[in-house]
């Protein structure tokens, strides 16, 4: 592991859910060599409590006995203390249907185990950078449309009904739409926000995120409208 380059100067806390001893050991050692601080757990029952107390910057999950990746994602997104944590699924399952289900339940990225574990470290860095980019140092502190208010600095979204829990990817897409409120944002621009932007499946993944956002905005006065063959726009309900 000593020949692996350090990716970061200050440790980033990563919570890893992995039941396979060999895989978990390799991933933990590789990430540690790259400069990450890793808390490794092996049981799904530990996930929520550990995430709440350890306060990681990133959660990496795999299927474990009694709890699938989709269930882990759903559990994290349903809890207000962990709802905004970036989630990467690290799995050996390459089926498109399984990948889509994970994204629908709140995963921000999906990395196959067939790739080198060092790629996972790069993905973590990229996702953390994307998450920080939705909190710019310059520009408005708040974005408002209808009853929706986005606290840009804190990365929190409110409506008249209360706080709306969004994943980092959902938040970034919503902010892009809000910044161009009433105007069409092209699919290409939305795809550029994705961690796997080079994938041929990126266009379909955008649709998954839009479906997730629409569900979460149902109780608000705004909606995401499809613009045929172009993209989407955020508008207020009539």
Q: By the 8 A CB rule, do 4 and 30 touch?
A: yes
Per DSSP bridges, beta strands 231-236 and 185-186 are antiparallel
CATH architecture, domain defined by 142-236: Orthogonal Bundle (1.10)
pLDDT digits (tens, 9 = 90+) for 49-65: 999 999 999 999 999 99
Q: Hey, where are the domains in the chain?
A: 13-133, 142-236
**Cβ atoms within 10 Å of 9's Cβ, excluding its own:** 6
pLDDT digits (tens, 9 = 90+) for 134-143: 444 445 567 8
* Rounded Cα–Cα distance for residues 28 and 18 (Å): 10
Starting at the edge strand found earlier in the chain, the sheet holding 37-41 runs 37-41, 13-17, 58-61, 87-91, 109-112
pLDDT digits (tens, 9 = 90+) for 173-200: 898 898 888 989 888 888 776 665 444 4
* Rounded Cα–Cα distance for residues 10 and 158 (Å): 32
pLDDT band at 167 (very low <50, low <70, confident <90, very high): confident
CA-closest candidate to residue 168, choices 108, 88, 215:
108
Any bridge partners for residue 231, and if so which? 186, 227
Q: At what angle do helices 117-133 and 168-179 cross, to 10 degrees?
A: 40
Residue 205 has pLDDT above 50, yes or no: yes
Query: What's the CATH class of domain 13-133?
Result: alpha beta
């Amino acid at each position: 592991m000593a020949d692996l380059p350090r990716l970061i100067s200050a440790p980033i806390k990563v919570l890893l859910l992995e039941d396979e001893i060999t895989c978990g050991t390799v991933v933990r050692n590789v990430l540690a060599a790259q400069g990450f601080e890793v808390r490794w757990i092996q049981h799904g029952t530990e996930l929520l409590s550990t995430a709440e107390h350890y306060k990681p910057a990133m959660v990496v999950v795999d299927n474990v006995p009694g709890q699938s990746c989709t269930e882990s994602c759903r559990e994290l997104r349903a809890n207000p203390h962990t709802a905004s944590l970036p989630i990467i699924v690290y799995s050996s399952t390459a089926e498109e249907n399984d990948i889509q289900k994970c994204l629908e339940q709140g995963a921000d990225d999906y990395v196959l185990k067939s790739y080198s574990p060092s790629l996972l470290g790069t993905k973590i860095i990229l996702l953390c950078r994307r998450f920080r980019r939705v909190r710019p140092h310059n520009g408005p502190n708040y974005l408002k449309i209808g009853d929706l208010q986005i606290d840009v600095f804190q990365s929190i979204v409110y409506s008249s009904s209360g706080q709306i829990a969004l994943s980092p990817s959902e938040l970034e897409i919503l902010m892009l739409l809000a910044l161009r409120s009433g105007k069409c944002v092209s699919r290409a621009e939305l795809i550029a926000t994705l961690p796997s932007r080079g994938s041929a499946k990126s266009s379909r993944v955008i649709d998954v995120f839009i479906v997730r956002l629409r569900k979460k905005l149902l109780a608000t006065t705004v909606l995401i409208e499809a613009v045929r063959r172009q993209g989407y726009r955020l508008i207020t309900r009539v």
